[in-house]
């Protein structure tokens, strides 16, 4: 197996997504790519991003859901009429309108993606890293974290589980390690910069490589 790569929070920014895969010379035959969620909402090419992500998963990438996929699931799979209204309102207010626009006339296709979102694992763990969409709650094994923790959490304390928590969710100016949390969401849909990291398989995070595209 070749390199261990990760990126997060594409948010419909297909051009940057395509560019960073090219820039990093990503090869699905030997590289392990981990995508940390938030593929949808806010950006201009949500449908194209989802098509590419699904294909990447077929080629061996690991795909996690983000809180925006969670909002989409709740809005389009309501438990009851009141919850459905409130969940739809929350989703649209947080950028869901761009996803609905992208699938106008193709809602049956979006429904299939929603079903696909539901199949995605909430985390991926290796010997030295735990990949999640959001910040893990501190001092709690990942297997005991709640769905809300892993998709919505924002915790500034060290994770404290002897592994680096690689996550997106909170936009930062550049990829940064704080305690044992590696922030990789550089706010592409807000600032135009998408980042990808190559993580040393021995856990020596100081040898990490970063690609940025605009």
Task: Please tell me the predicted confidence (pLDDT) of residue 34.
Answer: 99
**The pair of three-digit structure tokens given for residue 4, joined into one six-digit string:** 């261990």
Rounded to an integer, what distance in angstroms lies between the CA atom of residue 132 and that of residue 150? 6
φ, ψ dihedrals at 79, nearest 5°: -75, -30
SS3 111: helix
Task: Please tell me the predicted confidence (pLDDT) of residue 197.
Answer: 99
| Beta carbons of 128 and 165 less than 8 angstroms apart | no
Kindly give the residue spans of alpha helices, DSSP state H, lying in 127-171.
147-152
Q: What is the mean pLDDT of each run of 10 residues along the chain (214 residues)?
A: 95 99 98 99 99 99 99 89 87 98 97 98 98 97 97 93 97 97 98 98 96 98
Predicted structure pTM score: 0.96
**Would you tell me how many other CB atoms lie within 10 Å of the CB of residue 115?**
12
Rounded to an integer, what distance in angstroms lies between the CA atom of residue 186 and that of residue 146? 25
Domains, the chain, in order of start with CATH, read 4-213 (3.60.21.10)
Task: Please tell me the predicted confidence (pLDDT) of residue 187.
Answer: 98
**The pair of three-digit structure tokens given for residue 168, joined into one six-digit string:** 């997106």
Task: Please tell me the predicted confidence (pLDDT) of residue 84.
Answer: 80
């Amino acid at each position: 197996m070749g390199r261990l790569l990760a990126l997060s929070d594409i948010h419909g920014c297909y051009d940057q997504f395509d560019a960073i895969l090219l820039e990093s010379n990503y090869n699905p035959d030997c590289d392990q790519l981990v995508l940390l969620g938030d593929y949808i909402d806010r950006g201009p090419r949500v449908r194209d991003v989802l098509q590419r992500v699904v294909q990447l998963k077929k080629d061996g990438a690991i795909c996690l859901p983000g809180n925006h996929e969670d909002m989409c699931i709740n809005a389009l799979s309501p438990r009851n009429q009141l919850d459905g209204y409130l969940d739809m309102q929350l989703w649209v207010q947080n950028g869901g309108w761009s996803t609905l626009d992208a699938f106008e006339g193709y809602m049956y296709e979006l429904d299939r993606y929603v079903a696909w979102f539901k199949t995605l694992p909430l985390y991926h763990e290796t010997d030295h890293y735990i990949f999640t969409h959001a910040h893990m709650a501190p001092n709690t094994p990942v297997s005991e974290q709640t769905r809300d923790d892993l998709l919505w959490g924002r915790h500034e304390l060290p994770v404290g589980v002897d592994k680096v928590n690689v996550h997106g969710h909170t936009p930062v100016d550049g990829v940064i390690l704080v305690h044992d949390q590696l922030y990789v969401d550089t706010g592409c849909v807000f600032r135009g910069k998408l980042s990808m990291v190559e993580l040393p398989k021995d856990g020596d995070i100081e040898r990490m490589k970063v690609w940025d595209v605009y």
